[in-house]
Amino acid sequence: MSEVSLVTSVKFNTQEPEITMTYATDERTQRAIEQFRGFDIDTQLALLWYGYLDLKEQLDSETNQPSVQDTAAALYDQIRALPQEQQLQAQRDIASGGNTDISRTYNALHSSPKIELWLRLARGMESGEIIQVPSDYELPLETKSFVDTVKALDFSQRIDFTRSIVLEWGAK
């Protein structure tokens, strides 16, 4: 009787797989998401701001659930309490997946508080509580195609686009 020895080599990948959740189901919205991902973080933040300005009359809080509003308000208050340059850095850290306390807190949120936070940040920018996009800021020329794509989306598609983007953000 012969003896057979079987040696198996197993390599474990210590990195978690990157999961991208999206609410966008149609091709045009997916194309807008892909275009958006190609821009630098400051351009992404500016585009999110201009998108808010374009839709603000149609927007309402994501939900009236007190837990969602309280969760978003708590993180908003942390960001609002920072000096203006740090407010901007906190937004950059969230958008870029930076490993900071605020970005990790954001990452732990469910989808509704995430979108509620960005709605609050935009309203805070309007009221002057949050650092604003400089009045002389101009979007890079390469964003024109993206802006045209987004403006062709209906309201529901634009909300799906925004939700998909803000869900991706936060510490990785």
Q: Is a pLDDT exceeding 90 seen at residue 16?
A: no
Domain ranges of the chain: 27-133+140-168
State the CB neighbour count (10 A cutoff) for residue 119.
20
65: which 2 tokens?
Answer: 């659930």
CA distance linking residue 122 with residue 141, whole number of Å: 23
Is residue 160 within 8 Å of residue 32, measured between CB atoms?
Answer: no
Regarding the domain delimited by 27-133+140-168, which CATH topology (the fold level of the hierarchy) does it fall under? orange carotenoid protein, domain 2 (1.10.2090)
pLDDT confidence tier of residue 113, bands split at 50, 70 and 90: very high
Q: How confident is the model at residue 67 (pLDDT cuts 50, 70, 90)?
A: confident
pLDDT digits (tens, 9 = 90+) for 20-30: 455 557 899 99
Top pLDDT among 6 and 60 is at 60
User: Tokens representing 29?
Assistant: 């919205």
